Structure 1
Amino acid sequence: MPNERLRGAVSARELTTQRCAELLGVDPKTVERWITRDRVPHRAHRVAAADLLGVDETYLWPSVVDDLRTVSAGRAEMVEFYPSRSAVPLELWRSLIQQARESVDILVFAGLFLPELHDITQLGERARQGCRIRVLLADPNGAAVRRRGDEEGFGVGLAHRVLLSLRYYEPILAIPGVEVRLHDTTLYASIFRVDETMLVNTHVYGSTAAHNPVLHLRRVPGGRVVDHYLTSFDRVWTHAKRTSDINAVIAAFDGR
């Protein structure tokens, strides 16, 4: 049976079988067999093909979900489990920012605890040294933050926490490599990613983030968990609104 998902993904990228093979460093006949005979490539080629086509490898080859090596690698990505965010050692949060070299990605509603733990100008210093900083905060005027505020029992207080967080980030907004966007997305987890390490703070209905479990993850070759959460981050990032004028955001909130 042909792999129509793979065929469609190649077509969507406006690639030919020949060009796809060249970019992946394999024989065109190999790619043709992947498509026409639904052959499952070796792991390295699966990862490279999925990255080239901009989709998850399990979408192209669902059978790899049950691959024992994939399952084992996914388990290896788990470094530690914390029963609540407040149980995460403060030194871990601080060391992650201090050690950041390539990327810092933050997805939260308000995440006010971060600027309370760190001098946010440290993120600016990382950016000046070539580190990409992406911060996603909730749109204080959005439906998602109002809904979450009601669920947690804070009401409009959660939106005010977002505005306060924005004020903390304001001094570094003009630094190249730093970008803050506002999202109006239902979050199932807050994500804190620094290079190959990630902390995932799960969300529980009616419970504040500080009281919810945290997964400490680190990317392992062949693992899918970190990349799975990064895909989620990128989807929110794509649809979020750019913001460079904090005062305009605050004025829009005050003027509701």
Structure 2
Amino acid sequence: MNQALKVAMADRGETIDSLAEQVGVDPKTVGRWITPGRVPHPRHRAAAASALGREVADIWPDVLKRREPAWLRPWVETELQATALRSFQVTVIPGLLQTPEYASAVLSSGLLGPDEVADYVETRMRRQKAVLERRKPPLFVAVIDEFALRRGDPEIMRAQLDHLVELAQRPNVLLHVLPLDAGFHAGQAGPFVIATTDDSDVAYLDDQAAGRLTNETAALWSIWDTLRSVALPRRQTIDFLEARSWLT
């Protein structure tokens, strides 16, 4: 039972029906929030907290906890310790550079339900802030295959490309597009990220089922150097993102 929600409702003189009306959901839904304590959609959490005059964290403290899958948590910890992150992506924009709308579209293409997608997007946005907006953010270098920039709804991609251009102005963010005319390249086997920490280099490799960490980074460094050599320089990349000639 969510005792904090029950107390907040009592203090405010709200019933299940009255709170449901303010939030715009069925009373049965609010009933499930109380017992067995199902966590609402982020939009509904915010509306309910506002109606009750409380902070979301006061009623649903667990939403501030990490909601990423267990296999990803070691990498999330590594991101927070990294002094530099070097990311290569073939088919999607790197997660730390995604807009909420783009992240939602990508996550919705899999097997996740709407509530799960919303939670994962919220978690991804918190990760971005924790990594890229901390007091001493890491150097973030990304090589993105042009193919990833061409996939997606045009309206979503326009906003995503604007976001990339904005991020690329930061001194610690270096973006490089790998153009299609580069042909076949060493990174076609899949995406990876290399994190440099005070102790060592750690790499993250993604696949269809889950990701994994490895300290065996020598081969990845060689691939990284090759990819950087055929990718567009920083200024040309920004010009390319601003031109976005493929969008109609």
* TM norm structure 2: 0.45
* TM norm structure 1: 0.44
